[in-house]
Amino acid sequence: MSAFLTRTRLIAVLSLTQIIGWGSGFDMVAVIGPRMGAEIGLSNAVIFGGITVMMVVSGLAGPSVGRMLARHGAARVLAMGSAWLGVGLLLLSACHHLLAYAATWVVIGWGGAQALSTPAFAAIVEREGAAGKRVIGLTMIFTGLSATVFWPINTWLADGIGWRNTLLVLAALQFFVCLPLHLFALPKTRSKADGSSQPEPAPLTLSEAEKRIAFLLVAASTTIAAFVSFGFSPTLLELLQKSGASPALALQLGAARGVIAISARAVDFAFGRRGSPLLTALTGTLCMLASFLLLALLPGTSPVLIGFVVLYSLGAGIMAVARAVLPLAVFSPQEYGLQSARISLPQNMAIAVGPLAFAALMDAGGTLPALLVASLLVGLSILLLLRLGQLIRSRRREVPPGLPPGAMA
């Protein structure tokens, strides 16, 4: 029961702080952005460009954050990230011109690199070890609700007290809720809790050269999948309408996407004990590939459009979990934070560039070129994952019977 309560507290703390983090940062712009732009004289394109700045800065900060996680542990890094996000929101509330707006998003991006997603998953792995895959999946089910929770909250606050005061409230949540929860409410790490400093072995026995190859395979496959899934996400309504959906049907299908994606995370969590990170990633990419080929090769009837949205949303939802847990298929829990933060550099760059690339493709040639390019890219991601699977199987076979994985390292 003690382990259950500890795990419950871990999930509760990180789910709450991640919902607040994403809801007051990335998701905040959808509600606050237009009001802010109207007052300080910035176009919507510039306002939403702040998110691009945030993702680019977070990506560039990834390697530094990885070293911080290895040196200080996830709790302190998360707390520092909450403080930086609070500072960024305070600065944003005082913005009056473009330069200050852009500089503020640099601060928010730096804070996000330390407080959002990767450091939170690192905190789970520090406390759960390789078994943290299922806890990560469950936490992501809750954090996927950040927009659902914070869009109405931000709207209600902005309508009542104005957008500047709303940002002050969001900053206060970072300083007085997230920061203390990260510092004082997270359970102790496994070594501190059980009095042992014995590191958990890596799942594979790899040479340094093989570790570099494995890292490149994990980074490349997940980055390509992120580029495609995030690339289509903002243009989904336009894609559906150009493929034959009525505006009403496109809106209904677009609204269902988030529910399906969260359901996919729940299914992965339910079967997580039997599955593996590699199987999760392959399932997600195969679902996405099937969705793109379906819409590219068949007429855009209602059943085809529904099938596309279901498969695409399932794939995107599963891949969100896979990007977080796939490093555990290769690296030890002690290496997880460092390697995941390094991988976040190309992933965040892909997330920042993807929507622009696919919007340009659709503007230039319609939906078919965009769907075919997406199919080719996802196919490449699948090939990289299969190569990773070959490496995993070959190295596991070389461990003598009776020895745990990593015992020969």
Is 193 inside a domain boundary? no
Residue 206: pLDDT band with limits 50, 70, 90: confident
Is 402 inside a domain boundary? no
**DSSP symbols for 138-176:** HHHHHHTTHHHHHHHHHHHHHHHH-HHHHHHHHHHHIII
Instruction: Tell whether the model's pLDDT for residue 123 goes beyond 80.
Output: yes
Is 262 inside a domain boundary? yes
| Tens digits of residue pLDDT in 14-68 | 999 999 999 998 888 878 988 998 999 988 878 888 888 998 999 899 999 999 9
Number of domains in the chain: 2
Is 403 inside a domain boundary? no
The answer to whether residues 217 and 365 belong to one domain is yes
The answer to whether residues 136 and 223 belong to one domain is no
Instruction: List C-alpha distances in Å: 146 to 136, 289, 381, 397.
Output: 16, 27, 28, 43
Is 203 inside a domain boundary? no
Is 155 inside a domain boundary? yes
CA–CA–CA angle 277, 20, 336 (5° rounding):
30
pTM listed for this prediction: 0.83
The answer to whether residues 176 and 121 belong to one domain is yes
The answer to whether residues 81 and 145 belong to one domain is yes
**Long-range CB contact pairs, 46-52, < 8 A, 24+:** 46/98, 46/101, 47/101, 50/101, 50/102, 50/104, 50/105, 50/108, 51/26, 51/105, 52/352
Q: What is the span of the domain harbouring residue 294?
A: 208-397
The answer to whether residues 183 and 213 belong to one domain is no
| Tens digits of residue pLDDT in 370-401 | 999 999 999 999 999 999 999 988 876 554 44
The answer to whether residues 259 and 389 belong to one domain is yes
Is 404 inside a domain boundary? no
Instruction: Tell whether the model's pLDDT for residue 121 goes beyond 60.
Output: yes
Residue 294's pLDDT is 96
Dmax (CA) for the chain in angstroms is 68
Residue recorded with tokens 């009837």: 301
Indicate which CATH number applies to the domain containing 137: 1.20.1250.20
Mean pLDDT is lowest, of 126-140, 198-212, 334-348, for: 198-212
The answer to whether residues 131 and 279 belong to one domain is no
| Tens digits of residue pLDDT in 344-375 | 889 988 988 888 888 888 888 888 999 999 99
Mean pLDDT of the chain: 87
Spatial CA neighbour of 142 closest among 54, 34, 10 = 10
HSE of 317, CA atoms in CB hemisphere, 13 A = 28
Spatial CA neighbour of 275 closest among 137, 98, 165, 112 = 137
Is 201 inside a domain boundary? no
E strand or H helix at 118: helix 118-128
**DSSP symbols for 370-401:** HHHHHHHHHHHHHHHHHHHHHHHHHHHHTSPT
The answer to whether residues 230 and 109 belong to one domain is no
User: How far apart (Å, rounded) are the C-alpha atoms in residues 135 and 58?
Assistant: 24
